[in-house]
Amino acid sequence: MKLKDFDYHLPEELIAQYPCDLRDHSRMMVIKRKPGKVEYRIFQDLPACFKKDDVLVINDSKVIPAHLIGKKETGAAIEILLLSRRCGRNEIIQTWEVLLRPAKRVSVGTRIFFNGECEARLIDRLSDKKWVVEFRTSSGFDHFLEKYGRAPLPPYIRRDKDNINVEDITRYQTIYARHPGSVAAPTAGLHFSQNILEKLKNIGVHIVPVTLHVGYGTFLPIETDIVEKHVMEEEFFEITKEAAKVINEAKRVIAAGTTSTRVIESVADEAGKVKPLSGHTGLFVYPGYRFKRVNGLITNFHLPRSSLFLLVCAFAGKDLMIKAYNQAIQNHFRFYSYGDCMLIL
């Protein structure tokens, strides 16, 4: 398949720069694959779309404040995005894989300073933008991150580099986040409020957490012209024995987000039975993939030509998705991470 066939034009003003005032007040497009019916609702209506004994699978990974801005010895500003921890000799000294911007005019040994509380040193170059960096903090790395780290917002959300937006620290995080490790939010979960979760439980919906730590690969564009040639970056996941049991007993499984979907589909066998497991998955879902366990999907509106858009096209059908996205544009839905969502059944 050609990647260009999964393109669409989005007016820039529809890219949401800030979240909805209240999490569950975002708009929601409800799509029924058969007969291809499209309805317009708001997220507060979600419980009405569920049935007793449905299983809702959520991703409880927690976004770390992985975006840092420091200064080189020259005084020039440099941005760091933490990707994954290599090792930590102790809480004071930590070694991480990171992305640097701008990555020019840096070399092994370059030092970066953060408000007198942390000094970083580049110790290895992995690619043009990816480096291994050693951090030395005065009061502990976690404390330093909590104080100076920013929400790792995607590049299409614009913020003032000189100010931390406190709202982003809380809103670019699901209310059920538990396990730190993601450098991007599982954005379908951003719409859930405690009120919605309680209403779902009250009608007999089983809410099951799984974990997938979202990596930087979620931001990376597909660079191959042929869809099948793309290789996903692997991400850590975990599904417990208890979660697997509830999913296996369900008649209908609805995944909150593409990340929850990829966990379930990574551990499901051909009969649709899932098993408890932890490890890394590079599962790439694109049209032609046969879903083994997921029956419904809650998801945001994704970038054209992205692996996330390919996944929803695989789930609902490309023609139906193109139709739905065009309708969303015509009706001024908000797109991407802080935008509106759809429920596909």
Its pTM stands at 0.94
Is-contact 101 109, C-beta < 8 A? no
In this structure, what token pair is assigned to residue 156?
A: 């299409």
Residue 322 burial (10 A CB sphere; 0-12, 13-18, 19+): middle
Domains of the chain, first to last = 3-63+172-344 (3.40.1780.10), 67-149 (2.40.10.240)
| pLDDT at residue number 281 | 97
Tell me what the mean pLDDT of segment 32-45 comes to. 92
Element (H, E) at 166: helix 166-171
Stronger pLDDT, 35 or 25, i.e. the higher one: 25
- Give the confidence band of 88 by pLDDT, cuts at 50, 70, 90: low
Average pLDDT, the chain: 94
- Give the confidence band of 89 by pLDDT, cuts at 50, 70, 90: low
Cβ-based neighbours of 221, under 8 Å, separated by 6 or more: 303, 305, 306
Is-contact 47 57, C-beta < 8 A? no
| pLDDT at residue number 103 | 81
Closest Cα partner for 113 from 103, 125, 121, 123?
121
pLDDT per position as a tens digit, 171-228: 999 999 999 999 999 999 999 999 999 999 999 999 999 999 999 887 778 999 999 9
In this predicted structure, the answer to whether residue 105 has a pLDDT above a threshold of 70 is yes
Tell me what the mean pLDDT of segment 322-343 comes to. 97
| pLDDT at residue number 240 | 98
- Give the Cα separation of 116 and 48 in Å (integer): 53
pLDDT per position as a tens digit, 133-181: 999 998 899 899 988 999 999 989 998 877 767 899 999 999 999 999 9
According to DSSP, the β-strands at 179-182 and 61-63 are parallel
Least confident of 10-19, 79-88, 223-232: 79-88
